[in-house]
Structures are given as C-alpha cells and as structure tokens.
Chains A and B, each alone.
Chain A
Amino acid sequence: MRTLNAIAIIAFRDLTKLLRDRVRILASVMFPLIFIGILGGSLSANIGTSLGFNFLTFVFTGVFAQTFFQSSAAGVISLVQDRENDFSQELFIAPVSRYAIILGKILGETFVACVASIGVIALGLIIGIPLSAGALLRLFPAGLAASFLGGAFGILVLGNISTQRTVGQIFPFILFPQIFLAGVFAPLSGAPIMLRVLSHITPLTYAVNLVRAAYYTGTPEFGAVTTLHPALNMLILVVLFFLFLIPGTWLFVRKEQNR
C-alpha cells in the first residue's frame, strides 16, 4: 500500500509540474508536429508514392510510438539530472523501494507523453490520417506500452553512465539511430540485412511495431507495415522491459551509492 501510494504521488507530481509549465506543454506538442509535418511531409513527397500504403499514416504511427518512448526515457533520465538540487534528493532518502521511485517516474512521464500525443493526434486529424474511435482506443494502450519500454530503457542508460554531462551528450546518439532503425520514417523491409539485424536489436523497434500493429490491425496494409507477429512483439517488449528495468535500477542504485 505504501509502495502504491509512493508510485501515485511521484507520478502525480510529474503531471502537476507539466500542467503548470505552459512552455513545456507547447514544446512537447510542437516537437511531434515538426517531425510529422516537416520531415514526414518532405519524405512523403519524395518516396511516398512508390510504397503501396499511405506514407504519412506510416510516419504518424511511428512518431506516435516514438513520442511515448522518448518522453519516458528522457523523463527517467531527468530524475538524476535534478538529483543535486531538486526534490529528487528527497525521493532518494524516502523509505520506499527504488523500483517504486522508478516506476512512479515512468508512470508520470507516461502521463506527460499522453499530453504530447494529443498534439500528434490533432495533427493527424488535420493532415487527414484516418483516425476512428476504435483506432484511438487501440493506439493509446500501445502508446503506454511504448512509454514503459522507454522508461525502462532510460534507467538502463542511467545505470551505465556515470556523469550527467555524458548523459546529455550521449542521449541523442542512442536515440536518433533508434528512430531510423526502428523504421519510424522509412520502412526497413527492403533494407540491407545488416540494417535489419540492427533494427531487431533496437528497443524502439518493438514499440513502433506494437503501435503499428494496433493501428493497422485488420487492414490490407498490415503485412507491409509490421515486421513481427504482434504476440511475439508484445512478448519481446515485456521481456525487454524487465531486462532493462531490473538490472538498470540495480546498477543505478549501486552507482549512486557506491561512489
């Protein structure tokens, strides 16, 4: 009960902070807009016609997954960026499990990602992505799963890098390749074998795949846009979540205390 209380309060704090920070809300909504609107739009004009499925819808679903994954990963990483002069030091001396702190943070950042995803959905509707109520109902749970995976990935990154400067410098390098390898902007089905192998060891791939499976289920494009059976994909995602979360938290706690 105490643990649930702690998870709830940590998550709620993140949401409260976001709702009071208009600039951050705007930024979190604008970022996906730029991704889909500009990058997706220009790519669509160049290669979209030869694919046999709507390229913008493809990018939209990819960015939707990425928004959740990235928001959560960055949020968990911020936990330690603030450690020195923020409320987080209050978290670290609290008599709650370290997993509760990390889970609370992931959950909070998931709420934050939900807010950001509203921007993605709004843009999707504007540019004419077919979004039925059923599709939305399927998209959000998949987004939450993407967010949890992102958060767990974030903690694994933290557990392995010793300084915050390094985290700041390295984060783009571990995130941007994933965006391409996960096929957010371009399908990897025709890519060289090497890229496809790399794609399969990219965590974001499974988040993107899940979201696409949720969106495209029952459509003729399904086979062309997903690279893995949804059940297997989900299984890998769950395994990766625990594989990142448990050693990540352990490494992180050890690194923080065992200086």
Chain B
Amino acid sequence: MTEAVRVRNLVKRYKKTKINAVNDISFSVAEGAFFALLGPNGAGKTTTISILTTTLTKTSGVVEIAGFDAERAAGEVRRRIGVIFQTPSLDKNLTAEENIRFHAALYGLFPFRPIYALMPKTYKTRVASLAELLGIRENIFQPIHTFSGGMKRKLEIIRGLMHRPRVLFLDEPTTGLDPISRKGVWNYLQEVRKEERTTIFLTTHYLEEAEDADNICIINRGKIVASGTPENIRKTLVNTYLQMDAKDRHKLVTELARLKLQPEGNGPFRILLQNGIHPQKIIRSIRTPLTLLNIHLPTLEEAYIEIIGEHHADA
C-alpha cells in the first residue's frame, strides 16, 4: 500500500530558540487511513502539520506527501492536500457560494467568473448537491457571517474537499464547537471517508475523536511518546480493573486477602485484572454485601493522561 504521508527523522528548530519544537520524529500514514496526532499544547502538533502542509520549512529530515517532497515539490503537494485550519479561514464578507467559487478558481477547477450565473452547469450542480448535504440550500447565497460555528466548519470542510485532495489535514477542527455541532462535523467527515476514501490527518484535544482512528501518535515536547492503534495504546498503558466497595470494608478486604488479592486504595478498592484474574471468579467468592461493583475498561483519554502525566513528572 502506498503511503499518503511519510515522515522520517523530522526536526524543526525555530529561529532564535535553543530547543527543537519537533525533535526527530518518524511516522507514516497509509493511503485512506485515519491518523490522529495527539499531544498537549505546545507539543509540536501545529508545527508538524505546518511542515506537512508546506507552510513551514523543516530544519532536517524527510517529509513526503503522496510521494512528493513537501519542500522541493511543494506545488505538487499543495494540489493533493486539503487543510482545515485551527482558526476559520472563510471570508466573512462573502457568501457561502462565493467562498466555494473562490476556492474552485484558485485550484483551477473551474474558470473564474465574476457572478454565479455565469458559472458552468457542472459547477452549479456540484454546489447544489453540497448545499443539500449541508442542509443550507436556502442559505448558500447568504453571507457566511449568518452561519453557526458548526455550519462554517462544515463549509470549510466542503471547500477543502472541492479539489478532491488525497490527504485532508484537520488541525483541531472541532475546537470551540458545541457537542452537537461537533457530532455533526464528525458524522459528515465519516461519510466523506467512506465515499471518497480520503486519508485523514487529524490533530485534536478531544481524545474520544481519536478513538476511531486507525493509528495514533502521541507527541510531547517534540518527541513521539506513544504510537499504534488506539486499542494497543489503551491496553499497554492502562489496566482493566475491578472496582468494588462495601459498607463493611474490613470484611471485604479480609475476603479478598483470602483470595490472595491485594486491593489498591482505602475504598472503593481497585483490583487489577491481570495474570488470569477473572472478575467472575472474584465475585463468585465474595460474600460481603457490595455497594459498588464496576469493571473499568481503559479509555484512550486515560492512556493519554498516563503518558503525558509521566512525562510531566519527569520535568
């Protein structure tokens, strides 16, 4: 399978600084995959995405997008990528349709015409179907300052996909959106992935958005601190445990000790489910009336906090 993104030993040191903002990172994203780059503020996410999208030069290393070098063949790369920026990049003075028309002309998809009526029929059909998809058929000729935050985000995504990019870069695309708008944007993105098989490169603060990723990479202070499928990261970092509590805690602890289990905490107690310990077996042997019983499954967020927390503790 060809690689949509290939990064080898990427280093970026900004001018007049003594540390590397991105410090020797390597990763690949397969064509059609959904890849998420995670990390705290200042970890180097935006720096990385800026280099990948040709707006920032690297200090050293190799960056290839769809097989083209991001610096030597920047034009080829730009033709093949779509970018959704952290801050909105729509022109507020223009209508939704004009924003799309500008993009289309800029990318040479359709010839420039000063008014909509003069645009080719294929363009009009495309705009109509996009507007339908967004549910803004009536508003497509309205200035976009009348749109909600979620609507604008979706419009940007639509615009970013007009030229059918091979890779869509999304830099914290849902920051500042309410939960319902966020869900709307994600549903739309999933549809796009299914239909166009576009490779998605995401940076986000919302860990649950990365749960569906094929692969994730967590960076901190410019270094990759964890990478793999979300499931593997969760499993290797966070343990599944049984959480229990009782009114008579002493009795419960005694019972657990008899089962050769060493619960953590002073109640509620945590029993790590590893080395073949099955929750079923424990529960069957407990006589003490319980007030709490819960099998805790690891989340990506916990794994993330564990990884990042560990590195913060180093400081």
Chain A residues packing against B (C-beta within 8 Å): 1-2, 5-6, 8-10, 12-13, 16-17, 20-21, 84-96, 256-259
Which 9 residue pairs spanning A and B have beta carbons closest together?
A95-B78, A2-B108, A9-B105, A87-B91, A95-B79, A8-B112, A85-B87, A90-B89, A94-B106
Interface residues of B in 138-188 (CB under 8 A from A): 159
Contact partners of B111 in chain A: CB under 8 A: 5
Chain A interface, >50% SS class: helix
Contact partners of A16 in chain B: CB under 8 A: 93-94, 98
Q: A84 to B88, alpha carbons, bound, how many Å?
A: 9
- Say yes or no: A13-B94 contact (C-beta < 8 A), given A90-B103, A95-B107: yes
Residue of chain A at shortest CB distance from B101: A9
Q: 1/0 per residue B51-66: CB within 8 Å of A? A: 0011111000000000
Q: A10 to B99, alpha carbons, bound, how many Å?
A: 12
Q: A119 to B56, alpha carbons, bound, how many Å?
A: 42
Q: A172 to B85, alpha carbons, bound, how many Å?
A: 32
Cβ-defined partner of A84 (8 Å) among B15, B87, B99: B87
Contact partners of B103 in chain A: CB under 8 A: 90
Residue of chain A at shortest CB distance from B94: A16
Cβ-defined partner of B88 (8 Å) among A85, A88, A93, A257: A85
Residue of chain A at shortest CB distance from B21: A259
Q: 1/0 per residue B3-32: CB within 8 Å of A? A: 000000000001100000000000000000
Q: A157 to B95, alpha carbons, bound, how many Å?
A: 32
Contact A17 B91 (CB under 8 A): yes
Residue of chain A at shortest CB distance from B78: A95
B90 at the interface (CB under 8 A from A): yes
Interface centre among A9, A10, A17 (most CB of B within 10 A): A9
Contact partners of B114 in chain A: CB under 8 A: 12
Chain B residues packing against A (C-beta within 8 Å): 14-15, 53-57, 75-76, 78-79, 81, 83, 85, 87-91, 93-94, 98-99, 101-103, 105-108, 111-112, 114, 159
- Say yes or no: A9-B57 contact (C-beta < 8 A), given A86-B89, A89-B85: no
Cβ-defined partner of A92 (8 Å) among B55, B88, B90: B55
A-B CB contacts (within 8 Å), total count:
80
Residue of chain A at shortest CB distance from B79: A95
Contact A17 B112 (CB under 8 A): no
Contact partners of B87 in chain A: CB under 8 A: 84-85, 89
Cβ-defined partner of B89 (8 Å) among A10, A20, A87: A87
Contact A9 B15 (CB under 8 A): no
Known A2-B108, A12-B114, A93-B81; 6 more pairs at CB < 8 Å? A6-B108, A85-B87, A86-B89, A87-B90, A89-B55, A90-B89
Contact partners of B85 in chain A: CB under 8 A: 89
- Say yes or no: A21-B53 contact (C-beta < 8 A), given A93-B83, A96-B106: no
A86, chain B: closest CB distance, angstroms? 7
Residue of chain B at shortest CB distance from A87: B91
Contact A8 B105 (CB under 8 A): yes
Interface centre among B55, B89, B105, B112 (most CB of A within 10 A): B89
Contact B106 A21 (CB under 8 A): no
Contact B75 A95 (CB under 8 A): yes
Q: List 12 A-B residue pairs with CB atoms under 8 Å apart, sorted by A's residue number.
A: A1-B108, A5-B111, A6-B108, A9-B106, A21-B93, A86-B89, A87-B102, A89-B85, A90-B106, A257-B56, A257-B57, A259-B57
Residue of chain A at shortest CB distance from B163: A95
A57, chain B: closest CB distance, angstroms? 36
Contact partners of A256 in chain B: CB under 8 A: 55
B281, chain A: closest CB distance, angstroms? 57
Cβ-defined partner of A93 (8 Å) among B54, B102, B112: B54
Residue of chain A at shortest CB distance from B76: A95
Q: A92 to B56, alpha carbons, bound, how many Å?
A: 11
Interface centre among A6, A88, A90 (most CB of B within 10 A): A90
A97, chain B: closest CB distance, angstroms? 8
Contact B93 A20 (CB under 8 A): yes
A256, chain B: closest CB distance, angstroms? 7
Q: A178 to B44, alpha carbons, bound, how many Å?
A: 43
Contact A259 B106 (CB under 8 A): no
Q: A1 to B112, alpha carbons, bound, how many Å?
A: 10
B132, chain A: closest CB distance, angstroms? 24
